[in-house]
Each structure stands twice: as C-alpha cells, then as structure tokens.
C-alpha cells in the first residue's frame, strides 16, 4: 500500500466520543484514529479489531505494535522525533519507526512474522518516505516482543505488545512532516549519551528507552547477529519514564488492570472440576466490586518503583482471600445479604459456603506460588506477609465476635480489632507492592504506614456509612451494625457517656437483632448523633486520613501518586 489516505486501510467505528476527545487535533492525525489495529491479550493472542482511538484512550486496550530499528551500513541507528501533530506522545524521540499492524490478513500473518514486517514496510514509507523497493522484507530480523504500558496524560495511554524488528539497509529518507519533525543517525556511543543525558528538550519515548536500556545489546548493531527469542519481556507500567506525564484518576487506574486481575481470579477459582464448589467460590466475586485490594499492589508499585504482571497475580490472590473472609464473616454474623445479593451460605448452603471459603484460601496461595515474575527468593517474604495478614484478619474477627457479648470495650481494643479485620489487608497490599517494586526499606515502611492509616480510616468510615446511608446504597439493611450489637467506635463512645434519654434509646436497639423496627433503628442513629458519637468517629477517621496523606508526602512525586491520593480520600468522599 502506498499513500496516506485513510480509505486505503481497514477501519473500525470508534466507541469513544471522538468529536470531544479529538477536539482541536490535526485533521490527518484525527482521521487515522479510525484505523483498525489488532486488540490482543497480554500474551499477544488476537481478540479482534479495535480502533486506534479506543486502544489508546483513557484505560486503553492491549494491542499489537512494532518497533523498527533501522541501521545503515556504517552502523548508525536512525532515530525520529515524532511530529507536534501527533495525538499521542508528540515531540519526543523514538526509534526509527514505531506503529501498529492493522487488522487485515496481510498484517496478521504469523508465518515468519510477515504481518508485522509488512506493516513496518508500509509505515516506513508513510512516516519516513522510504521507498519499499529499498527495503527487502527478508532483511528484517524479528528479535523479541515486549509488553508495556505508558500513560501520557488523563486521556492517552500506550498499552502494547511490541514486536521488535531490526533491519540493516542504506535508504533514502524523506520524512513526512505530519508524522516526523526531525531525524538523526546515531552511533552506539551517541545513543548511550542520549539515554544518560535526560535532556528535557530531547525526551526519549518510554518504549524506546525500554528497548535501548533493557533489551538491546551489541549484536543488534551488527547485521545478522541479533538473536531472536520467544519471550514477551514484561516492562510493566513505564509512565514515569516520560517527563511531565500526568497520572490517571483512581477509577481509570483501577480499570486499566481490573479485567486482567479478574481473569486471574476466575482462572484460579474455576480450575476445579467441581461445578458447585466453583460456583460458590465465584458467587461474591460475580457480584462485582471495585477491586481496590486486588489492584492495590500494582498501584503502589507504580508509585514507588517498577511494575510487572506478577503483582496482578498477587493482587488476585489477596482479593480471593478477602472474599474468603467475607464468605465466613457472613456466616458468623448471620448476614443474608452481601453486595445486594444473597450471601454464599444462603445462595448455596452452609457446609458448601464453609468449604468454599477454605478452598479459596488454599487457592490464593497456590496462585501466588506460580505468579509470573515472582522470583523463588521472594516467595518466603510473600508467604510470611500474606500469612500474617490472614492471621490478623482472623484475630480481628475473633475480637469482633467477643465484643458483642461484652458490656465494655475500650477504644484501644476497637482499634486493635479493625487493625486486624480491615487495615491488615490494606497495609499488606501496600507493603507487598512496594517490596515487589524494588523499593528501599524506608519506602516500604512508609507505604506500610500509609496502608495502615488508609485501612483504619476505611473501616471507621464504613461504620459511619452504615449509620448515615440507606439500605439500597449499602447493599444490606441499614443500621444492621447497631441492631447486631457491633461495638463500633461510635457505640463505644456513646456507652461511655453519662446516662441520658439518648443513651437509653440507643440501648433499646443495641444488639436486639430482628426484634427492632426501622423506626427504632432511626432513633438509635439519632441518639448516636445527639451523644456526639458520630462526630467523634468522624474526627478520628479524619486524623487517620491526614496521616495517610502525610505518608504520601514522603514519597517522591510520580504520575501514579494521584491514584493513591484519591484512594486515600475515597471513603471520606462517600459521606461528604
């Protein structure tokens, strides 16, 4: 194919509102956003066509790409500066040519990597004006693949399985100014100087920096010497490699990897041949959920170091454990509703629910043991930390059970209880994420403290939400904590107040279960407000909220910090 006409290439209807997203963009570049690129799994398995826009917008989608490294006969590498007209990653230096094979038979041909090679010839002509007659497809050397994601700003992200191609040829270059603003030929020494310089006027593309710094070796510079492999090198999220990159909000950051985590969860829990057991294990997870805990190791790692897909496996394991605790909690608390649907012991039966919870705990550790990118030397740390988390959760649950039969519970005992039931999981996610990211001990401890503060704030706010929200919002009966006699911080504070009518109204409902009416529950909640207990708990939650932000203030700024700050604010925003 020759020319630069959108009608020459396969296209697909964009899903996003292109008129708003592309407002003010170059008209040629805007038209190219309808190109049908190849959506793939994280293992480069073809899913189908997707528009260039939808594969790059907001959360983006994994899609197939290629990176050409073109060397001349004197051993110099051709670099290009992407034009200012480019919608994604404008004005930055990249390898000779980087683009996407299209969803067509010619460019999806797997034999001898002919698909990506044909796409490379097409784009070398489009971007650099290199006549296809000067490029022999047989001279392309496929070397390897890499998986990465790099965010430019709130709207645009690269999420690619990048096929790396090397070619040695002397060519005539006539850059298309709509694509390329500048070119240069560099020696191996000159490239190394560019990578080290970190010149803000000559920014290197994150994907090219990964290729040049992490994969490229001396053999690539010599014709016919590059050694191919069958690997997909996992680079994780490399947004921090782009100076001035803007991080996404919390919802987008979670959505980027939520589907990947849920795939891992489903794969683990459906591995058994026992359909009823699998259904019981999947029951709560199929009810949805934000997956805060599941994605938290990844989110923390992005903020403090390097990421890889193993963090998603660990996050999936922690999410499975979290849901195991919910299955057993609902049994112990005699709760029939969870997330707006029947609890597992109601949807199935009590023995199956208990058995499903036990199996989920075992499966979580199995999944973690075979996680991609987790070195054997890291497993003792993970087993110890996550084992400690499960123990703390059990201890917290036991205290919660015992508190219901005690007339007096101190505030310190309550904090110890929620440290185990809720905060232990947050701090473990944060600590493990930082450790797997290669952070130093001080940073790991800082993220431990952040996770602890977030977890304590989260539970305090959850208690408040039970009092201040209606049943439809909660997905369970409003006020169930008071009716069940839960010793929340509000109740502990209220019981420590002098005798009063408000205190009597609370005691008339506390722990009476199904024997109270909705009106009585409302009166009990009003009593908590009149006794100052709601404001007391709110103030305590806000103090942990401030501590969490103080911890983040000690971490060097990065694009991913934004999501952690929004997570810190998440529960507070639900009642303000």
pLDDT one digit per residue (tens) for the chain, 576 residues? 333 344 568 888 776 666 678 888 888 898 888 999 999 999 999 999 999 999 999 999 999 999 999 999 999 999 999 999 999 999 999 999 999 999 999 999 999 999 999 999 999 999 999 999 999 999 999 999 999 999 999 999 999 999 999 999 999 999 999 999 999 999 999 999 999 998 899 999 999 999 999 999 999 999 999 999 999 999 999 999 999 999 999 999 999 999 999 999 999 999 999 999 999 999 999 988 889 999 999 999 999 999 999 999 999 999 999 999 999 999 998 889 988 899 999 999 999 999 999 999 999 999 999 998 899 999 999 999 999 999 999 999 999 889 988 889 999 999 999 999 999 999 999 999 999 999 999 999 999 999 999 999 999 999 999 898 764 444 445 557 888 888 999 999 999 999 999 999 999 999 888 888 889 999 999 999 999 999 999 999 999 999 999 999 999 999 999 999 999 999 787 766
Select from 284, 213, 207, 200 the least CA-distant residue to 244.
200
Domain definitions of the chain by residue range: 6-241, 250-458+553-573
Tokens representing 340 are 């707006």
Spatial separation of the C-alpha atoms in residues 117 and 506, rounded to whole Å: 74
Yes or no: domain 6-241 corresponds to CATH 3.40.720.10: no
Spatial separation of the C-alpha atoms in residues 150 and 155, rounded to whole Å: 12
Task: Let me know: does 64 contact 177? Beta carbons within 8 Å.
Answer: no
Tell me the C-alpha to C-alpha distance, in Å, between residue 571 and each of 459, 463, 467, 491. Answer: 9, 11, 14, 20
For domain 250-458+553-573, give the fold.
Answer: Farnesyl Diphosphate Synthase (1.10.600)
Show the beta-strand stretches assigned E in 62-140: 63-71, 77-82, 93-94, 97-99
DSSP structure class, residue 262? H
Task: Decide: pTM greater than 0.85.
Answer: yes
Is 549 buried (19+), middle (13-18) or exposed (0-12) by CB count in 10 A? middle
Residues in the chain, total: 576
Spatial separation of the C-alpha atoms in residues 66 and 59, rounded to whole Å: 20
Q: Decide if 6-241 and 250-458+553-573 have a common fold.
A: no
Task: Let me know: does 55 contact 159? Beta carbons within 8 Å.
Answer: yes
Tell me the C-alpha to C-alpha distance, in Å, between residue 455 and each of 96, 127, 163, 371, 459. Answer: 48, 51, 42, 26, 6
Spatial separation of the C-alpha atoms in residues 216 and 164, rounded to whole Å: 10
Tell me the C-alpha to C-alpha distance, in Å, between residue 503 and each of 13, 111, 434, 521. Answer: 63, 77, 46, 13
DSSP 432-466: HHHHHTT--HHHHHHHHHHHHHHHHHHHHHHHHHH
Select from 388, 416, 422 the least CA-distant residue to 403.
416
* Backbone φ, ψ for residue 465 (5° rounding): -65, -35
DSSP structure class, residue 88? S
């Amino acid at each position: 194919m020759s020319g630069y006409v959108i009608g020459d290439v396969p296209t697909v209807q964009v899903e996003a509102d292109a008129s708003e997203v592309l407002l003010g963009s170059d008209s040629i570049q805007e038209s190219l956003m309808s190109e049908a690129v190849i959506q793939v799994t994280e293992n480069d398995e073809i899913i189908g066509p997707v528009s260039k826009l939808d594969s790059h917008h907001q959360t983006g989608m994994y899609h197939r790409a290629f990176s050409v490294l073109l060397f001349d006969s004197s051993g110099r590498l051709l670099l290009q500066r992407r034009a200012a007209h480019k919608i994604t990653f404008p004005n930055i230096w990249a390898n000779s040519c980087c683009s996407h094979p299209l969803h067509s038979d010619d460019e999806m041909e797997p034999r001898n990597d002919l698909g990506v090679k044909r796409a490379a010839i097409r784009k070398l002509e489009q971007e650099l004006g290199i006549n296809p007659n000067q490029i022999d497809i047989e001279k392309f050397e496929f070397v390897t693949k890499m998986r990465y994601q790099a965010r430019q700003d709130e709207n645009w992200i690269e999420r690619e399985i990048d096929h790396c191609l090397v070619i040695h040829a002397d060519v005539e270059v006539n850059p298309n100014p709509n694509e390329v603003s500048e070119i240069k030929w560099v020696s191996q020494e000159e490239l190394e100087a560019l990578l080290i310089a970190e010149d803000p006027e000559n920014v290197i593309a994150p994907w090219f920096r990964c290729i040049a710094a992490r994969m490229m070796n001396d053999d690539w510079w010599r014709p016919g010497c590059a050694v191919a492999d069958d690997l997909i090198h996992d680079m994780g999220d490399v947004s921090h490699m782009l100076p001035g990159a803007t991080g996404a909000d919390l919802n987008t950051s979670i959505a980027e990897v939520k589907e990947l985590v849920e795939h891992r969860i489903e794969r683990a829990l459906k591995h058994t041949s026992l359909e009823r057991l699998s259904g019981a294990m999947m029951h709560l997870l199929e009810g949805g959920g934000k997956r805060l805990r599941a994605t938290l190791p990844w989110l923390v790692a992005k903020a403090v170091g390097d990421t890889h897909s193993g963090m998603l496996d660990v996050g999936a394991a922690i999410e499975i454990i979290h849901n195991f605790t919910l299955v057993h909690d609902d049994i112990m608390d005699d709760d029939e509703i969870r997330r707006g649907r029947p609890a597992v012991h109601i949807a199935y039966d009590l023995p199956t629910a208990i058995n499903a919870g036990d199996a989920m705990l075992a499966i979580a550790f199995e999944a973690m043991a075979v996680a991609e990118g987790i070195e054997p030397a890291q497993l003792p740390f993970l087993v110890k930390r996550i084992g400690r988390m499960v123990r703390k959760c059990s201890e917290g649950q036991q205290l919660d059970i015992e508190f219901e039969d005690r007339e007096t519970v101190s505030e310190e005992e309550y904090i110890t209880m929620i440290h185990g039931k809720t905060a232990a999981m947050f701090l473990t996610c944060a600590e493990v994420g930082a450790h797997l990211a290669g952070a130093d001990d001080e940073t790991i401890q800082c993220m431990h403290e952040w996770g602890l503060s977030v977890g304590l704030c989260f539970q305090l706010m959850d208690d408040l939400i039970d009092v201040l929200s209606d049943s439809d919002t909660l997905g369970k009966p409003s006020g169930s904590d008071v009716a069940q006699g839960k010793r929340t911080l509000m109740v502990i504070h209220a019981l420590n107040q002098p005798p009063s009518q408000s205190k009597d109204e609370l005691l008339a409902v506390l722990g009476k279960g199904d024997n109270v009416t909705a009106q009585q529950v409302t009166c009990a909640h009003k009593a908590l407000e009149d006794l100052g207990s709601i404001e007391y708990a709110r103030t305590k939650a806000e103090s942990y909220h401030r501590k969490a932000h103080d911890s983040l203030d000690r971490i060097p700024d990065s694009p991913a910090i934004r999501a952690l700050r929004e997570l810190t604010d998440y529960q507070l925003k639900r009642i303000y």
